[in-house]
Copies of this chain bind each other. A is one copy, B any other.
Amino acid sequence: MSDPAELLRTRGIQVTAQRLAVLRVVASQPHTTADAVAEAVRAEIGAISLQSVYDALAVLVSEGLIRRIQPARSPARFENRVGDNHHHLICRVCGRVVDVDCAVGSAPCLTAADSSGYEIDEAEVIYWGRCADCAPLSPPNRKNNDG
């Protein structure tokens, strides 16, 4: 049952052209920003306010249909790969984001060395570096100081 409209309906969310378009855009352009979604949706269905894009994204995120990632010094990004076990690799220079499978394997890596009494529900991993295009063009700007 991966029909988008059906996905919405079964969750009691009204099916609207805007929401379907937003969902479609996020699916076709993973790691896209709210702004970019607005533009793409406009190209598809004519008009949508930026606020409505934020609304639609918020609804989809809260229902777990899409995921929001918010890397430092970048607007929030959205992707429709949810419920699987993957992380992100981000280029410090051009900001490009790519998916990587979890190094630990397919089991969620939810076990910290010492959880300090926290009940952990997500491990968010971002690998920072420079992508194949940017690496030769600029010097490394950070020492390896984190593991």
On A, residues with C-beta under 8 Å from B are: 64, 67-70, 72-73, 76, 82-87, 89, 91-92, 98, 100-104, 106-132, 135, 140, 142-147
Contacts and interface: CB of A to CB of B under 8 A. Distances in A.
A147 B112 contact: no
12 contacts: A70-B72, A85-B146, A89-B118, A107-B147, A110-B144, A118-B135, A119-B135, A119-B140, A121-B140, A123-B126, A124-B127, A124-B146
A120 B110 contact: no
Contacts of A64: 143, 145
A113 B100 contact: yes
Contact of A108 (B68, B82, B107, B144): B144
A113 B103 contact: yes
B115 A122 contact: no
A101 B104 CA distance: 16
A9 B84 CA distance: 49
